[in-house]
Structure 1
Amino acid sequence: MSLKLAFLASHGGSAARELVRACHDGRLGAVPLALASNNSRSPALAWAREAGLQTAHLSRAGYPDPDALDEAIRDFLTQSGADTLVLSGYMKALGPRVLAAFEGRVLNIHPSLLPRHGGRGMYGDRVHESVLASGDAESGATVHLVTLGIDEGPVLAQSKVPVLSGDTLETLKARVQAIEGELMLRAVRELAAR
């Protein structure tokens, strides 16, 4: 049975774009259905509309009560028909209702080799800065299942890249981002095979 995918994205949604491309060109046996964003100006939201996905802007602006927002996100995603949720640069913690509705089926990609450089406050450039400051010889990306604890869910897949002498935030970030699409694709395939 094919996975039915929904996405949450705050900005560009590169993982969502890669997975939708893979669905369309036959590299992934899944059906992309919906994307929601907490950012009304998110490029991912505009792209998803053009790609024919169901879309929604769901944020504290429309739902100031966190429980109501959690319910709205859950309802949009479940009503889309999705059975698997992929976070694609989604910069908000998920609520308990969304996590319960997709238990064991919420994937996130983190730009380091978890458990190193993960947890509260560790996102985006902060992660790469932490890797560089630590003197680690390698970094990479991790796809994990999302649980209530930030970056604490079981690891599905990891890919490594070297940290090179003279690396800057930009060069390390580019090297990690270059492996993220294929890593997420591998992890979704592995989840589908379970």
Structure 2
Amino acid sequence: MFKIAVLVSGGGTDLQSVIDAVENNYMNVKIEMVIGSRDNIYALERAKKHNIDTFVVNRREYGEESSNKILELTKGKVDLIVLAGFLAILDGEILKEFDNRIINIHPSLIPSFCGPGMYGLKVHEAVIKSGVRFSGCTVHFVNSEVDGGAILLQEVVPVYFEDDAETLQKRILEKEHEILPKAIKLISENKIRVIDGRVKIEE
């Protein structure tokens, strides 16, 4: 069976969408473990409720060795690493070991409103301030450049004049919960090819 590790930093609504997709037999995938970037986050409680093994790799404790510790936990045990609201940066050997086997979900249409410092409500605040008419979310592969890997799936949502960061975030989260499980399913079924930095989906 195709096995994944999900990395989290917060409440875990994206994680919940993956758990639900697995339990509803949307995809033939096992969540082997959930790794949190800090203690006492609700995402870890969600995992425990579903009898999923949990680990914490706290950057304060592990410092520059955080990515290596995550590699130690995942190497040989999972086929894919899923960043679901994971705010720490992965670097070093794990990017080579899991080349094109780490995906992230970002709450904008990359390459807009992304990169260092662009996460959470900051993204939506920047979107509203800019006056763009559309935003959305992106599932992409992870490489050494922040939010810079090949784009796998995107979903578009309108931005309304009356929106604030919270209302826009809520609308985009609904789409995140659709495309993150879809991306995992496509990868698990071997339907994704990365060619010259672009993704081809083989239906």
Decide: shared fold, TM above 0.5: yes
CA deviation digits over 1:91-142, x for unaligned, max 9? 1000222222221011111101100001111111110011111111100100
1:98 aligns with 2:97: no
Amino acid in structure 2 at the alignment position of 1:146: V
Match for residue 77 of structure 1 among 74, 77, 84: 74
Q: Partner residue of 2:55?
A: 56
Amino acid in structure 1 at the alignment position of 2:75: T
1:45 aligns with 2:41: no
Distance in 2 (CA, whole Å) between partners of 1:41 and 1:149 is 29
Q: Partner residue of 1:165?
A: 161
CA deviation digits over 1:16-73, x for unaligned, max 9? 2211211111111111110111111111112212211121111133323x1x322211
Q: How many residues align?
A: 190
Q: Partner residue of 2:134?
A: 138
Distance in 2 (CA, whole Å) between partners of 1:84 and 1:23 is 15
Aligned-residue CA RMSD (Å): 1.3
Distance in 1 (CA, whole Å) between partners of 2:126 and 2:156 is 16
Gaps of 5+ in 1: none
Quote the sequence identity (%): 32
Distance in 2 (CA, whole Å) between partners of 1:122 and 1:13 is 18
1:13: how far off? 1.8
Amino acid in structure 2 at the alignment position of 1:75: E
Q: Secondary structure at the match of 2:59?
A: coil
Q: Partner residue of 1:29?
A: 28
Q: Partner residue of 2:14?
A: 15
Distance in 1 (CA, whole Å) between partners of 2:15 and 2:119 is 18
Distance in 1 (CA, whole Å) between partners of 2:45 and 2:91 is 24
1:171: how far off? 1.3
Q: Partner residue of 1:181?
A: 177
Q: Partner residue of 1:156?
A: 152
**Cα pair 1:19 1:28 within 8 Å, conserved:** no
Distance in 2 (CA, whole Å) between partners of 1:73 and 1:39 is 13
Between 94-103 and 176-185, report the one with greater CA deviation. Answer: 94-103
Distance in 2 (CA, whole Å) between partners of 1:60 and 1:26 is 34
Distance in 2 (CA, whole Å) between partners of 1:16 and 1:72 is 21
Give TM-score, length-normalised by structure 2: 0.89
Q: Which runs of 4+ in 1 moved over 4 A?
A: none
Q: Secondary structure at the match of 1:61?
A: helix
Gaps of 5+ in 2: 192-203
Give TM-score, length-normalised by structure 1: 0.93
Distance in 2 (CA, whole Å) between partners of 1:171 and 1:152 is 27
